[in-house]
Amino acid sequence: MKNVIGVFAKTPVEGQVKTRLTPPLSPQEATELYQVMLAETVSEMQKVVGAEVVLFVAGDESYFAERWPELRIVQQQGEDLGQRMAHAMTGELDRGADGVILVGSDNPDLPPEKVDKAFLHLKHVEVVFCPAEDGGYVLLGESKHNPEIFVDMPWSTEKLVDRTRQRLMFHGLIHRELETWDDVDDVPSVERLLQRSPKSRTAQHIKTRLSQHFWNALKPGADT
């Protein structure tokens, strides 16, 4: 069985990544944090046995080619996130993938075991997803493309998962959901990451480079 993990990423440009963390971070600090998160995400996804990691990028491909010369790099195509995700899904399924899972770059501590479980589900259903704490989702996977769940959806809002469930039910599509996970895109979610995965590369970067911004989560007595 050929599986593909597509990591969605953009070229780290100051003022264009992790903007919900500025402030308290400066644009430079937010960009550096994004780079660390992306690198850890790719590294963790490479631990999933039997899956090819593909980078779906927006922006200059040279940044990614220099850091991950072993990976296939594909430019995102489409006007909105749904179109870009659908293009990635159909492209990989048409190339012969049995299952395709898309993840973002804001889940640096997403366990590879959770992705393994998603691929197992895709042996039996057409759609699998992992809800995020904020109402979006952490990963979305397909074994057969279903365009209905990519059109006119409330992307980047707390309504996305509920709308996805409604679409799946309306079209009679059997799916599986994984246990909810938490992405990292604002101050509270950064603090939860520090508590949840203190040994992660991203957490270590925050402790050593950005501790002044997250002192409440790092002060003596915090479970980190």
Q: What is the pLDDT of residues 56-106, one digit of tens each?
A: 999 999 999 999 999 999 999 999 999 999 999 999 999 999 999 999 999
Reported pTM: 0.93
Q: Name all contacts of 90-93 with Cβ < 8 Å and 24+ positions apart.
A: 90/145, 92/4, 92/6, 92/54, 93/142, 93/144, 93/145
Give me the count of residues in the chain: 224
In which residue are the tokens 């075991």 written? Answer: 113
Mean pLDDT computed over 147-163: 90
Query: 220 preceded by cis ω (within 30°)?
Result: no
Fold of 3-185: Spore Coat Polysaccharide Biosynthesis Protein SpsA; Chain A (3.90.550)
In DSSP notation, 151-209 reads: SS--TTSTTHHHHHHHHHHHTT--EEEPPPB----SHHHHHHHHHH-TTSHHHHHHHHH
